[in-house]
Structure 1
């Protein structure tokens, strides 16, 4: 039997540090669209060259190199545009760097797994914790070649990591590869070109507190007027003073519009991004700003009114309400979603399921307990082998999107969110809770039992229902010690309370009053209450 890993303590998830709202730019004229594309293409070319320079600098980049890059861009755009471009480049390089490290770690895990399986005799089976060998000599030989390929990839990736070399594609590597498979993507070359150009445009500007309406580069007035500071080479396109171009469209943020208006009215920083959806032929404006971190609710306060444990699955959220002692209340809950179809449809399905979950939690004043899932290293072919369906199942679970949306929506409604270690929740939940909660009218699923395990772990209770009974006999000598009461609860080691009235047909009311008296049960010489038997005539 393998050694169980240590389970991390639950914690209250902190709220988001920023918000973003979006609105469509309606009623744009042909001149507006032409200017937006010219400005976006010009700034996009500058961003591409700046990203190339940043990647070439590698680990030798410092503050002086950053200032030099900004000076080069300022002459071809403006000081504020140059600052936005260099900052976006720095963030993109850092993201690529973190992704490269994750790729190295994934290759290392794959090499270890394949090497371990190759070291075992052919046909040897594994257990729950370690995989076994390969089934045939032919598969063993194929995996030996696979090991060499992984080792070569690991060596190349590790060398790039140590040298600070990253590979980034502005516009997306997936869209770039689509160019070679236009028929499979059902796109023409012109349609692909429009998407490629839209993905490589740059029309984003960071805000600055103290400046007019919080942003001098892309300015949005309280009444929704949008104007852009044109780069120096395109200043001839201005239709307003000081080299600005005012769009015909006006924006009105339906979500968080009051918060945005308050920031704009007080000249607080707001960042804007303008982008085109080439599929629909629409333009959008996204406003974002940072918010102060909200004070996290203490864990003890979040546990005060109970919990609703949530188990995340590929097509639904399984949930069960628990009281503060860890006892399940009522019937289990199921919030389903369909992840087939387009990305907007999948996103709407996840959002709808979370809304129903959050409304239930707010209606009953409950905190939400959810697993701190991360399937980054759990879906590799080296770990699960032929279990392709299981790998696809894990890959299809919207873990990151669900987690980010749940954190943001729970913080907006003021609902505490508690993250727990996902270790053994499904296994122990099924072992201790699935069978006792199954009846003739309701069959408890493994996922519903796992939600109870998640909620009990968030409440600080052990997952198992009851501690072991007394080992010497079946009497109440040691008392019924349940796992439901806390360590400081009075009487937790005592016997069950006296219930008025006869408990059996042969015991009349009033008898057995001294059953809970430990003195009467254990001390010699103490007169125990006589038991009167009723003989049926």
Structure 2
């Protein structure tokens, strides 16, 4: 037990801080698409130049440089377009900076693992959580060479981190690399070019509170009319007063449409982004706004009514309902999904599984307990060696997306989410709960037992179901000592019920029918059934 790490405390997950809804722009004319392409291309070129300037500034960037960047863009577009571009550039640089830090930590973890395994003898077996030595001299030599490669990479990443240099590609590095592997990407050069240009367009505007309909740059009226404030070089394309261009289509937000309508009616800030899906040939507009941070429910209040523990797996969600004492109630539930096909198909599968889980939870008025999973350090090839299938399995689990969607969807249904430490839940759940929960009519899986372990940890109970029974040579034989009750509960360690009848031919003193009754013995200061009179002793009972 000395090698086990400390388990962190459970906590209530705060709700989402923002909302985003999307609507299709159906019925665009050829003139509308041409205007959108020209505006996106112009603003995209300005965003690329601003990103280049921001990356060149590095760590020396300050508010004065930000103001100069915005001033330079204002003359080529407008002050509001310039503000949106500079903010998007700053966010993109900060995201690349966080990714650089994560890459540095991953390289360091891989180097430490290789060094540890190189120091082990060939063929040495590893312990739990720590791999052993390499299998052959050939593999040892290959890993020694890889160690030098990783050390060189780490030096370059460390130098970039200290200097503030980041490498960012507008449009995505994955799509950029696909240009040299069109056959593997199943794209023609024309298709790649069209997608590359669409990804590099810039058609997004931040909202402004107090302005008409919450946005002066891209405006959507209550009846769905979409209009755009054209940049200064394209002002001649306007078909409405004040340099605006009105699209011929209508935007309809079917999801959260009432919330969106309430915001624009009160002129509260709403940000918009117009984007083009080249695969489907469709245009969309996405509206987003910030929501006030809701006050989380106290953890003790969540535990009072019980909850449902959920174990996330590669193809399903395993859930089991627990009462306030940590006892499983009813039957386990399984919500399947598949992570194959396109990204949109995988995302839809995750949403369908989550909504079925949340509807079941809301129907029973329960909270949800999930693991606070983070596989960033678990997907490295150095940690799991030749277990490629296991590494691929972990890498394919959308833990971040599932957690974000679960929290967002649970907030809409009023379901509280509790996050727990994932340490040893599967292992201890299978050890202490899988066999007791298995019967003739129900076969509990390892994932079902893990769901129970997660729920018990969220409730503040230990995962272990019972303590070890006493040995056979004691008077109560194999009577169980339960730890289901809380440590402070009265009577938790009370006497066990007596087994009727003598256990041997002779009953020793103190083991009869009234062994626990002090008044049943002929002692000073106590009454017995044979006493006909009673006289109080002059001495105190404690003497």
TM-score (ref. length: structure 1): 0.92
Tell me, what secondary structure is at the counterpart of 2:20?
strand
Q: Say whether residues 1:344 and 2:344 are aligned partners.
A: yes
Matching residue of 2:422: 422
Q: How does 1:120-199 map to 2 (within 5 A)?
A: 120-199=120-199
1:482 CA drift (Å): 1.9
1:7-47, Cα deviation, whole Å (9 max, x unpaired): 00000000001100000011000000000000000000000
Q: How does 1:325-344 map to 2 (within 5 A)?
A: 325-344=325-344
Q: What is the aligned-residue RMSD (CA, Å)? A: 2.4
Cα distance in 2 for partners of 1:259, 1:373 equals: 32
Tell me, what secondary structure is at the counterpart of 1:303?
helix
Cα distance in 1 for partners of 2:358, 2:419 equals: 15
Tell me, what secondary structure is at the counterpart of 1:246?
strand
Cα distance in 2 for partners of 1:415, 1:448 equals: 21
- Structure 1 residues 342 and 521, CA gap change in structure 2 (3 angstroms): farther
Matching residue of 1:287: 287
Matching residue of 2:534: none
Q: How does 1:79-118 map to 2 (within 5 A)?
A: 79-118=79-118
Matching residue of 2:34: 34
Q: Is the 8 A contact 2:466 2:480 kept in 1?
A: no
1:470 CA drift (Å): 4.4
Matching residue of 1:46: 46
Matching residue of 2:296: 296
Matching residue of 2:413: 413
1:380-417, Cα deviation, whole Å (9 max, x unpaired): 00110000000001011110111000000111111110
For the pair shown, the structure with the greater C-alpha radius of gyration is 2
Matching residue of 1:450: 450
Q: Say whether residues 1:519 and 2:533 are aligned partners.
A: no
Tell me, what secondary structure is at the counterpart of 2:280?
coil
- Structure 1 residues 480 and 241, CA gap change in structure 2 (3 angstroms): same
User: Does 153-162 or 429-438 show the bigger shift?
Assistant: 429-438
1:202-250, Cα deviation, whole Å (9 max, x unpaired): 0000001011111000011111111000000000000000000000111
Matching residue of 1:218: 218
Q: Is the 8 A contact 2:213 2:268 kept in 1?
A: yes
1:523 CA drift (Å): 7.5
1:528 CA drift (Å): 11
- Structure 1 residues 233 and 379, CA gap change in structure 2 (3 angstroms): same
Matching residue of 2:536: none
Q: Is the 8 A contact 2:213 2:219 kept in 1?
A: yes
Q: How does 1:358-373 map to 2 (within 5 A)?
A: 358-373=358-373
1:156 CA drift (Å): 0.5
1:428-477, Cα deviation, whole Å (9 max, x unpaired): 11111111112233222111111110000000000000123446954459
- Structure 1 residues 477 and 362, CA gap change in structure 2 (3 angstroms): same
Cα distance in 2 for partners of 1:17, 1:121 equals: 52
Matching residue of 1:535: none
Q: Say whether residues 1:307 and 2:281 are aligned partners.
A: no
1:269-305, Cα deviation, whole Å (9 max, x unpaired): 0000000001111000000000100110110111111
Q: Is the 8 A contact 1:479 1:495 kept in 2?
A: no
Matching residue of 2:25: 25
Cα distance in 2 for partners of 1:66, 1:11 equals: 39
| Number of residue pairs matched by the alignment | 518
Cα distance in 1 for partners of 2:121, 2:493 equals: 53
Cα distance in 2 for partners of 1:190, 1:440 equals: 62
- Structure 1 residues 527 and 249, CA gap change in structure 2 (3 angstroms): farther
Cα distance in 1 for partners of 2:515, 2:227 equals: 84
Matching residue of 1:511: none
Tell me, what secondary structure is at the counterpart of 2:198?
helix
Cα distance in 1 for partners of 2:120, 2:63 equals: 52
Q: Is the 8 A contact 1:520 1:528 kept in 2?
A: no
1:125 CA drift (Å): 1.1
1:92-143, Cα deviation, whole Å (9 max, x unpaired): 0000000000000000000000011011111111111211010000100000
- Structure 1 residues 422 and 516, CA gap change in structure 2 (3 angstroms): farther
Matching residue of 1:245: 245
Tell me, what secondary structure is at the counterpart of 2:433?
helix
Q: Say whether residues 1:390 and 2:390 are aligned partners.
A: yes
1:332 CA drift (Å): 1.2
- Structure 1 residues 296 and 274, CA gap change in structure 2 (3 angstroms): same
Matching residue of 2:440: 440
Tell me, what secondary structure is at the counterpart of 2:253?
coil
Q: Say whether residues 1:232 and 2:232 are aligned partners.
A: yes
1:70-94, Cα deviation, whole Å (9 max, x unpaired): 0000000000000000000000000
1:301-356, Cα deviation, whole Å (9 max, x unpaired): 11111111111100011111111100111111111101111111111111111111
Q: Is the 8 A contact 2:519 2:527 kept in 1?
A: no
Cα distance in 1 for partners of 2:448, 2:11 equals: 22
Matching residue of 2:61: 61
Cα distance in 2 for partners of 1:522, 1:154 equals: 80
Tell me, what secondary structure is at the counterpart of 1:434?
coil
Q: Is the 8 A contact 1:479 1:493 kept in 2?
A: no
Tell me, what secondary structure is at the counterpart of 2:310?
strand
Cα distance in 1 for partners of 2:262, 2:422 equals: 41
Tell me, what secondary structure is at the counterpart of 2:288?
strand
Q: Is the 8 A contact 1:307 1:321 kept in 2?
A: yes
Matching residue of 1:534: none
Cα distance in 2 for partners of 1:17, 1:267 equals: 19
- Structure 1 residues 74 and 465, CA gap change in structure 2 (3 angstroms): same
1:490 CA drift (Å): 3.0
Cα distance in 2 for partners of 1:517, 1:75 equals: 98
Matching residue of 1:256: 256
Tell me, what secondary structure is at the counterpart of 1:247?
strand
Q: Is the 8 A contact 1:476 1:495 kept in 2?
A: no
1:3 CA drift (Å): 1.4
Tell me, what secondary structure is at the counterpart of 1:88?
helix
TM-score (ref. length: structure 2): 0.91
Cα distance in 2 for partners of 1:142, 1:524 equals: 85
